[in-house]
Chain A
Amino acid sequence: AQSVTQPDIHITVSEGASLELRCNYSYGATPYLFWYVQSPGQGLQLLLKYFSGDTLVQGIKGFEAEFKRSQSSFNLRKPSVHWSDAAEYFCAVFSGGYNKLIFGAGTRLAVHP
């Protein structure tokens, strides 16, 4: 079955530190992968996407993600975290057979000053 796993429910980092949020997917075909961010009381904002080609994709707000087919992973990274990055982050895969996004459970990021 198609699924997305985000192993870390909560992560706390210090402002200025680097960040890596993990995402593993299970999908039979070539996956179309996404990272979304949800700030408190807000909707989901698309950070970046991977469809094909270069496995390192750049997104908004200084985020990047690397697709590793051999590890079925699509981890999100940022070299230096800002306090405004505190939010919940969702990894998702597009399920073509069902025309829907399948989301992971999310990782809540807290940033210490």
Chain B
Amino acid sequence: DSGVTQTPKHLITATGQRVTLRCSPRSGDLSVYWYQQSLDQGLQFLIQYYNGEERAKGNILERFSAQQFPDLHSELNLSSLELGDSALYFCASSVAEAGGTNYYEQYFGPGTRLTVT
């Protein structure tokens, strides 16, 4: 158990709908990362938040957004869902205090499997 929790574990929804995925980082970790894992794209970085602020953006669609709250949990919002959005969505956390090597270590949650029908 990495200490990172994600809910829900599974989500089935229809095209055009909107869903919210939730992540709680490890205790003490300030940084949250979101990744998407799909069969055709592999593991792709979506976005990073550090202590409530967006720090880095990857291949995240405009239909997707995220935020990190004062208690450090994060939510990934996916809207106008398409069949191609079906994937496993991972949240990872790290200490993210630059200057120590543990800054680079990311610990992953169990993921949320999204199925769009």
Q: Is the CB of A43 within 8 A of B105?
A: no
* B interface secondary structure, majority: strand
Q: Which of B61-69, B72-80, B107-115 lies at the interface?
A: B107-115
Q: Is A57 an interface residue (CB 8 A)?
A: no
Task: Knowing A43-B2, A43-B90, A51-B101 are in contact, say whether A99-B55 is a contact too (CB < 8 A).
Answer: yes
- Name the contact of A44 in the complex, choosing from B45, B55, B104, B108 (C-beta under 8 A): B108
Q: Is B16 an interface residue (CB 8 A)?
A: no
User: In residues 54-113 of chain A, which contact B (Cβ within 8 Å)?
Assistant: 90, 94, 98-106
With a 10 A CB-CB cut-off, give which of B42, B43, B56, B101 has the most chain A CB atoms. B43
Which residues on A sit within 8 Å (CB–CB) of B35?
101
- Distance in angstroms from B114 CB to nearest chain A CB is 15
- Name the contact of B104 in the complex, choosing from A43, A45, A51, A102 (C-beta under 8 A): A51
Q: Is the CB of A45 within 8 A of B108?
A: yes
Number of A-B contacts (CB under 8 A): 53
Q: Is A17 an interface residue (CB 8 A)?
A: no
Which residues on B sit within 8 Å (CB–CB) of A102?
45
Q: Is B48 an interface residue (CB 8 A)?
A: yes
* Interface residue range, chain B: 20 to 34
Q: Is A36 an interface residue (CB 8 A)?
A: yes
Task: Knowing A44-B90, A45-B2, A98-B56 are in contact, say whether A103-B108 is a contact too (CB < 8 A).
Answer: no
Task: Knowing A43-B2, A46-B105, A94-B104 are in contact, say whether A100-B43 is a contact too (CB < 8 A).
Answer: no
Q: Is the CB of B42 within 8 A of A32?
A: no
- 17 A-B residue pairs with Cβ-Cβ distance under 8 Å, sorted by A, are A32-B104, A42-B110, A43-B4, A43-B109, A43-B111, A44-B90, A44-B92, A44-B108, A46-B107, A49-B101, A99-B56, A100-B33, A100-B45, A100-B48, A101-B33, A101-B106, A102-B45
Residues on A facing B (Cβ under 8 Å): 32, 34, 36, 42-46, 49, 51, 90, 94, 98-106
- Other 10 A-B pairs with CB < 8 A, given A44-B108, A45-B108: A36-B108, A42-B110, A43-B109, A44-B90, A46-B107, A49-B105, A100-B45, A101-B33, A105-B42, A106-B42
